[in-house]
Amino acid sequence: MSNITISLPDGSERELPAGATALDLASSIGRRLAKAAVAATVDGTETDLNRPLAEGATVAIITEDTDGGRHVLRHSTAHVMAQAVTRLFPGAKFSIGPAIENGFYYDFDLPGAATFSDDDLVAIEAEMRAIMRADQPFVRSEMSMHEAKQLFADQPYKVEIIERVEAAEADSEDSVEIGEGGVISAYRNTDTFVDMCVGPHVPSTGRLGHFKLQRVSGAYWRGNEKAPMLQRIYGTAWESKQALDDHLHQLEEAAKRDHRKLATELDLLSFPHELGGGLAVWHPKGATVRKLMEDYSRLRHEQGGYDFVFTPHLANGKLFETSGHLAWYADGMYPPMEMDNGTYYMKPMNCPMHCLIFKSRQRSYRELPLRLFELGNVYRYERAGTLHGLLRIRGFTQDDSHIYCTHEQLADEIASLLDFVLSVLRAFGFDDFTFNLSTKDPDKFVGTDEDWNEATDALREALERHGLDYKVKEGDAAFYGPKIDIDVRDAIGRSWQLSTIQADFQLPERFDLEYVGADNGRHRPIMLHRALFGSIERFFGVLLEHYAGNFPTWLAPLQVRVLPVATAHEEYARNVVEMLTDAGARVDMVGAGDALGKRIRSSKLDKLPFILVVGDDDVAANTVGVNPRGGEVERGVGVAEFVQRFSDDVAAGTNQALTA
């Protein structure tokens, strides 16, 4: 039997018998690798472990403890879930079941518009475990579209996907679902269950098992509110019991930190149904924190050489035609308002109006870089099913900056922006960052390849100049330019995308922006978009969850509460409040109407940095009892001493924020 030569990612080569598979390759390297393998990448394409390899192929083994490996585990588990549901609910129709971040889901249409109950999830889990114990192989097959429609004739959602591909109307979910080039691929577990999918999958169901079904929700087919409402089951799957347990523990912690729950408990803000979905009102305590955030942002921008601007909440549609938003972003905008002098839209972005400010008069190269800053309200129509408290909202405030610079200034300006962004994020307690460079979507962009290449190279140079590791997200840029996204990791290890730096050659072109250069000629500036918080609302929500409501002293809405032991001590307590107020503290007093223990417990639930208790001894000695959040209780602390200690604590936090 002849041999074939396979190349490995490190450049080495390996000889295998003809007909060998990726699993054979993994086994030839080592037993541990073979045991951990779930799929392979062959010449850049992910594939099943049991598919024969060709001479000269470059092969990388995908292991279960990598992002790619977990994706395979989760997608395979989703297929097993669909198999279990069709066993338990005869006549059920299944649509799509992708792997998603940290898990998977599958959408079902049950007979008679039935819905899944919690007991059903228990039964489905049990059936899935029976399928996994049976160690059923995933067997791949390929067929024509006509053959596929016959095979899935009793599954209308699968047939619709095939017909959309035939009509060249496929979206990204469709391509993931069935394949390319008119060839449909499917995976069969048994004679009674087959699912349409590109793959890859694990070799058999026995490779699965560390999973948990989590919840059921409604989901419109294709997100269309006029389409059928399906039942979506969410689950999570991991490579080991420990990894699964760690994730479930993180979810428990996340539930405790849910900003919507904390916002209600701490009386920070609310989402009145009378306003409509995705719109919040800020209560005094929440508004205090927001003001501190905004004041800090204004101060840093003032120190950073930014000019402050303000723009209206709506504009004539012609503005968004010029900017390209109506051509590329109309689905994310609120419907038009017909007025007597034209069609108006609520603004989804501030950038077109900032371009008008630049264009309002002739500009000189001596003015560049021109840095414009606005805390600007914008409005985006997010679908009801995607709304999530402050993290996905319809009306929000961006800390929006647009910098206009020359080609020669571009790289330095981006590098400076990176320093600025990271220092502000550190000021609020984040120090673990991930950087992503998003490049051009070949099907959704404006401008020339040359402009895009220059902009992308400038962003890449800035990241590398800072020595920052980054990932390239191919095709993930907005239509007008590449970008750097900065993700932060919070106190329980979750990643949040917050800040963005985007290079844009297109809006200056579309708005015909010019400056007069040193040569007296007219030149086109480059525009940098930069949202630091992302939005005030989203950043507040992330911050609230990061601290679990325990804001640092400088940022806490109420910093100190004074509790008199009895009514006789209230006058002294008011004097302590006055001294703290004079020192700049946000402080209140709760009188002795309730028992002291009850008031202390209630104050701790408010997550206050300091609770002060005053009684007879304190009145006599001009002292306080200090109950610091998370610390040991101290008795007999002099009032002046505590005021100084408090002031030092606030100053330390503020100074750290200003020098981060």
Give the 3-state secondary structure of 289-357.
Answer: HHHHHHHHHHHHHHHCCCEECCCCCEEEHHHHHHHCHHHHCHHHCCCCEEECCEEEEECCCCHHHHHHH
Q: For 214-255, what is each residue's pLDDT tens digit?
A: 999 988 898 887 889 999 999 999 999 999 999 999 999 999
Distance CA 594, CA 500 (A): 50
Cα dihedral 406, 412, 418, 424 sign: negative
Taking every pair of C-alpha atoms in the chain, what is the biggest distance, in angstroms? 99
Q: Which of 140, 222, 285, 380 is catalytic?
A: 380
- Tokens 């990894």 belong to 243
Band the pLDDT of 658: cuts 50, 70, 90. Answer: low
Tell me whether residue 154 is one of the annotated catalytic residues: no
Q: Which of 300, 301, 354, 402 is catalytic?
A: 402
Distance CA 443, CA 88 (A): 42
Q: Which of 197, 351, 355, 405 is catalytic?
A: 351
What was the pLDDT predicted at 226? 85
Band the pLDDT of 58: cuts 50, 70, 90. Answer: very high
3-state secondary structure of 637: strand
Average pLDDT over residues 425-429: 92
Tell me whether residue 303 is one of the annotated catalytic residues: no
Q: For 594-635, what is each residue's pLDDT tens digit?
A: 999 999 999 999 999 999 999 999 999 999 999 999 899 999
Residues 6+ apart with CB under 8 A from 290: 282, 536, 540
Given a contact cutoff of 8 angstroms between Cβ atoms, the answer to whether 417 and 484 are in contact is no
DSSP β-bridge partners for residue 4: 16
Q: For 145-168, what is each residue's pLDDT tens digit?
A: 999 999 999 999 999 999 888 776
What was the pLDDT predicted at 660? 52
What was the pLDDT predicted at 85? 96
Q: Which of 70, 74, 371, 483 is catalytic?
A: 483
Give the 3-state secondary structure of 440-474.
Answer: CCCCCCCCCHHHHHHHHHHHHHHHHHCCCCEEEEC
Assigned token pair, 55 = 């001479």
Question: To the nearest whole number, what is the mean pLDDT of the chain?
Answer: 92
Q: Which of 155, 398, 409, 506 is catalytic?
A: 398
Q: Which amino acid is at 104?
A: F
Tell me whether residue 398 is one of the annotated catalytic residues: yes
Lowest mean pLDDT among 29-33, 45-49, 114-118: 114-118
Average pLDDT over residues 438-447: 84
Given a contact cutoff of 8 angstroms between Cβ atoms, the answer to whether 506 and 512 are in contact is no
Residue 175 has pLDDT above 70, yes or no: no
Band the pLDDT of 112: cuts 50, 70, 90. Answer: confident
Residue 187 has pLDDT above 80, yes or no: yes
Q: Which of 529, 569, 586, 599 is catalytic?
A: 529
Angle at 391 between CA 425 and CA 297, to 5 degrees: 35
Tell me whether residue 355 is one of the annotated catalytic residues: no
Q: What is the pTM of this model?
A: 0.82
Residue 170 has pLDDT above 60, yes or no: no
Band the pLDDT of 1: cuts 50, 70, 90. Answer: low
Tell me whether residue 380 is one of the annotated catalytic residues: yes
Tell me whether residue 273 is one of the annotated catalytic residues: no
Given a contact cutoff of 8 angstroms between Cβ atoms, the answer to whether 311 and 350 are in contact is yes
Distance CA 495, CA 488 (A): 6
Residue 271 has pLDDT above 70, yes or no: yes
Band the pLDDT of 180: cuts 50, 70, 90. Answer: low
Q: Which of 120, 195, 399, 400 is catalytic?
A: 400
Residue 543 has pLDDT above 60, yes or no: yes
3-state secondary structure of 237: strand
What was the pLDDT predicted at 103? 95
Average pLDDT over residues 304-308: 95
Cα-trace Rg, the chain: 30
Tell me whether residue 529 is one of the annotated catalytic residues: yes
Assigned token pair, 528 = 């940098």
